[in-house]
Chain A
Amino acid sequence: MFWQEQKEFPGQAGLNVDIFNRRIRMAEKHGDQVVEDVGRWEWSEMIKKEDWWAVWLGFFILLMGVIIYFPQAGDLKQELQAVEEKYAADAQKTDKFRTIGWYQLNDAKQKVKAKDNAIGKWLATFSKKPHTWSANPLNAFYMGEEAAEAKREKARPKYEELAAAADQAFEEAKAAQARAEAANFADPQINEAAKGAIADWRDAKLKASKAKKKTGAKAYNQIGWLILLGVAFAVFFGVGMKAMGKSFKEFLMGFSFIWLISVLAYFASAQATMKAYGVGYAFWAIFFGILISNTVGTPKWAMPAVQTEYYIKTGLVLLGASILFEKIITIGTAGIFVAWVVTPTVWLVTYYVGQKYIKIPSKRLNATICSDMSVCGVSAAIATAAACKAKKEELTLSVGLSLVFTSIMMIVMPAIIKTTFPVDKQLILGGAWMGGTIDAIGAVAAAGSFLGEKALYVAATIKMIQNVLIGVMAFAVAIYFTTRVEAEETGKKVGAMEIWYRFPKFVIGFIGASIIFSLLYTYFDNQVAGLGPAMIDQGVVKGMGDFFRKWFFTLSFVSIGLATNFRELKEHLVGGKPFILYIFGQSFNLCLTLLVAYIMFYVVFPELTATI
């Protein structure tokens, strides 16, 4: 089994023995030699096992983030208080519509970010992935000053035009709001006109700010940075490998190959067409890995660095820090029912159908596909696969299924919503439906933006709340597989200590990071609204954990690909059962999400919907 070390004992050919937290003892019983499976805890595991190393390395990165960003808390608090003082009165002038001051308060708060300090900016450059490119592959790594200037020049006239339009729209919005204010916000017609003028200003401002970004094109040479980052990661993971008794030198040699393929995966995912089709780095990492291993073969010297679990579990600890429980209150009660009640229902029903009727041979594959389809695609698949100790091919298959259906749903769902939903329900109901069902957030954002800004906000927020559910689901799956599935497989009942022996220890780091950073988020946000996102979201998470998490997942996916054989993958596809399971689950998900979203947003909490 991929997630467990395996060993063949002499005279016991083919016997798979998990020696991760287990000790296998040959014992005499009734005159026959039998294998006895004995769980035993040893403190030395904390420096000898990759689960624990994932926790240490993940927390080391998070601790660095805390050291770099937390000293700024006082300054950012003052900055946010100043913003409140400046705009709060204007923002609360009326509850009839969102005033200019309301938007200015919102915009100003969002600009306060801990990661905007010098170290944060350096880290962003240090960990940067290859740049977006269209036809010239070199643009992924290098752009000279001349080319950058040409880009800036090209973007400038459009920006100037849009900026002028935004300024004019702002003046009109101010005048319209003043008229509404003069009427004491009591005239519905004048209020509507002000609301419309403010919405026009927001649209114009958004367009201008997008255009402004393009006028800031800078020259870059990413090659040196990528080499430096590769060396840093090799040493970072190499230290753990050495402590686990592996050769540091052999790991470094092998890592250079894994790193090269990881960069290649990002290079492919940065291509404009691939971005448009939603084909991300996870797919390319697995694809290139499988392609190499099944054609020219994975070089033997690279094998010491093919350490899927080590990279993935470290990435998951970092992911844990971004699972912030305060996020789930964002869209209120309606959102929690769509994201947190529908999702586990779909998961359990699909799993049940998969076992009972479709008869998926592997419970782990079944669970991984269920999370992939019902929770949030690749991230949930990774966490679940690690929690239930799925095989590498099972994770590969789940990621592949998600990719295919995400691309299709990204195009089909907005079209269905536009043509069949009543106009007044397209943005919120449509947004909630897409957010609850499309697997990957990139596709959710694209489909939401297609419908409009509000649809994007609702869709992305529902998906964000589902992302937070990853922690709960991974924990539940780990417990279920430890106490039920593994107990059935070994034919033994498990007690509390046995659960501890078998439990994937990195989950402790994953859940621990989530709890610690959720508490810190609430602690900061209680001081002044906005400090939580500024310090945690826009600080330790985006300014530290996220810079490295995606790279770690890529390393793990490359490792999966390099160790996968087409034949092994084909075994799981026999009879098309995974496809049938995915299609059944997603169909059920689409129906239930739509129904619950409608009931919650338009029947139970219509007044909440009116505020969006």
Chain B
Amino acid sequence: MSKKKGWTILLSCLLMVYLFGVSIGPWLQHHIHGMDEIVTVMEENDIDGGAYYYTEIEGAADGHAYLDQSLQFFAPEQYGLTLPFIAGIIACLLILYIGFRFLPR
């Protein structure tokens, strides 16, 4: 690829990205059913739709605190290392062990 062509493609792509961000994207948003509402919720709650991990979202910390305290107060017998809970962990490990052991060669 010639240098001139390379630079032309690079700059055109950057321009397209910019245009998508400032005009095409917002226009499209209004034409996708339900998207406007989701965007409003995200703006109001300051949610970053591009977050990849739980520590990047306030809702995860809030939810953790809320559910933790709810269980401790209202269903303490269901909280912590209960027998069904441990069974769940063991089930997970067993699935992984058996699954990986017998995957096809």
Interface residues of B (CB under 8 A from A): 1, 3, 6-7, 9-10, 13-14, 17, 20-22, 25-26, 29, 32-35, 37-39, 41-42, 44-57, 59-75, 78-82, 84-85, 87-89, 91-93, 95-96, 99-100, 103-105
Contacts and interface: CB of A to CB of B under 8 A. Distances in A.
Main secondary structure of the interface of B (DSSP, over half): helix
Contacts of A276: 25, 29, 35, 38-39, 42, 49
Contact of B10 (A291, A348, A411, A467): A291
Contacts of A450: 37-38, 41
A254 B17 CA distance: 26
Given A105-B69, A134-B22, A460-B64, 17 more contacts: A109-B69, A110-B61, A268-B21, A276-B49, A295-B10, A329-B80, A332-B85, A333-B88, A348-B100, A376-B53, A411-B38, A442-B49, A445-B51, A446-B47, A448-B59, A449-B45, A459-B63
A442 B57 contact: yes
Contacts of A348: 95-96, 99-100, 103
A460 B57 contact: yes
Contacts of A607: 75, 78
A411 B50 contact: no
A541 B73 CA distance: 27
A300 B1 CA distance: 17
Interface string A462-482: 011001010011001001100
B59 A102 contact: no
Contacts of B74: 95, 611
A274 interface: yes
Given A210-B45, A295-B7, A533 B61 contact: yes
11 contacts: A271-B21, A274-B50, A296-B6, A332-B85, A348-B99, A378-B52, A379-B52, A415-B34, A440-B50, A446-B42, A463-B60
Interface in A277-309: 277-283, 291-292, 295-297
A213 B105 contact: no
B92 A344 contact: yes
A436 interface: no
A605 interface: yes
A89 interface: no
A93 B11 CA distance: 65
A139 interface: no
A467 B88 contact: no
A352 B60 CA distance: 32
A343 B25 CA distance: 33
Nearest to B27: A273
Given A134-B22, A441-B51, A445-B47, A102 B6 contact: no
Main secondary structure of the interface of A (DSSP, over half): helix
A457 B60 CA distance: 7
Given A348-B100, A479-B100, A280 B55 contact: no
Contacts of A134: 22
Given A273-B21, A608-B75, A461 B63 contact: yes
Contacts of B41: 446, 449-450
A135 interface: yes
A284 to B, nearest CB: 9
A109 B52 CA distance: 26
Nearest to B74: A611
Contact of B35 (A281, A411, A476): A411
- For B9, B20, B67, B80, the residue with the greatest tally of chain A CB atoms inside 10 Å of its CB is B67
Interface residues of A, number: 106
Nearest to A435: B63
Given A276-B42, A410-B38, A296 B7 contact: yes
A480 B61 CA distance: 33
Contacts of B14: 291
A332 B79 contact: yes
Given A340-B92, A441-B57, A110 B65 contact: yes
- For A92, A340, A460, A473, the residue with the greatest tally of chain B CB atoms inside 10 Å of its CB is A460
A356 B72 CA distance: 46
B65 A533 contact: yes
A448 to B, nearest CB: 7
A340 B84 CA distance: 13
B61 A537 contact: yes
A446 B13 CA distance: 29
A51 interface: no
Interface string A211-238: 0010000000000000000000000000
Contacts of B57: 441-442, 444-445, 460
Interface string A324-362: 000111111100110011011101100110011000000
A198 to B, nearest CB: 14
Interface string A359-394: 000000000000000001111000000000000000
B104 to A, nearest CB: 6
Contacts of A95: 73-74
Given A445-B51, A541-B55, A355 B104 contact: yes
B42 A275 contact: yes
Given A280-B52, A340-B89, A333 B82 contact: yes
Contacts of A355: 103-104
Nearest to A273: B25
Given A110-B65, A333-B85, A273 B20 contact: yes
Contacts of A460: 54, 57, 59-60, 62-64
Contacts of A464: 54, 60, 63-64
Contacts of B17: 268
Given A295-B10, A445-B57, A460-B60, A414 B50 contact: no
Nearest to A110: B65
Interface string A417-450: 0000000000000000000000011111111111
Contacts of A546: 55-56
B25 A457 contact: no
Contacts of B65: 106, 109-110, 533
B25 A611 contact: no
B78 A449 contact: no
